[in-house]
Amino acid sequence: MNGHLGQTVGYVRVSTTDQNPARQLEAIGQVDRLFTEKISARTTDRPQLQAMLAYVRAGDVVRVKSPDRLARSTTDLLTLVNQLKNNDVQIEFVDQPALNTDSPQGEFMLTILGAVAQLERATIRERQAEGIALAKQRGVYNRTPKLSPDQIELARQRIADGVPKTVIARDLNVSRQTLYTALASQGSYCR
């Protein structure tokens, strides 16, 4: 551990700048270092979260009020917990101590959560595929492409001119994924 004394590091996230973090701060109590996020993000790409992950060292404990403050999905939660555990950093959830990583019970609960999340993703994919297959049999699954061949050609020209795909997708009023699918001639854009 190179003489590093374990610190207690707090992480607080409020969804918007007008939300008050006081309840979370009171719940986590005194910490050696605090990271406070005022952002509503669906991913783990949050500046203070990334700063906290870069800051913590082996022997530290990250204290969070509840799992939903650390991650927005079970998958993200498990990824973050594993990342911290791999660096010998424990995680403590004040509201749900059964998920703390410093006990075999916490490890077990997180493993169960991971299995449930994996099953849920597989079930959703299976239902989607079954639904699409049934719709195709009935002849009602006929996705009309959101982009015309002319729009796709224009997008290709703009990409060649150096315009970012994000900008092009926004200008065409489609998601980036739709643009990528159209450019790759996949899905309903197959020729």
- Is residue 66 among the annotated active site residues? no
Q: What is the DSSP string of the chain?
A: -TTPPP-EEEEEEESSTTS-THHHHHHH---SEEEEEE---SSS--HHHHHHHHH--TT-EEEES-HHHH-SSHHHHHHHHHHHHHTT-EEEESS-GGG-TTSHHHHHHHHHHHHHHHHHHHHHHHHHHHHHHHHHHHT---PPPSS-HHHHHHHHHHHHTT--HHHHHHHHTS-HHHHHHHHTT-GGG--
Which of 15, 40, 66, 188 is flagged as catalytic?
15
Write out the catalytic residue numbers. Answer: 15
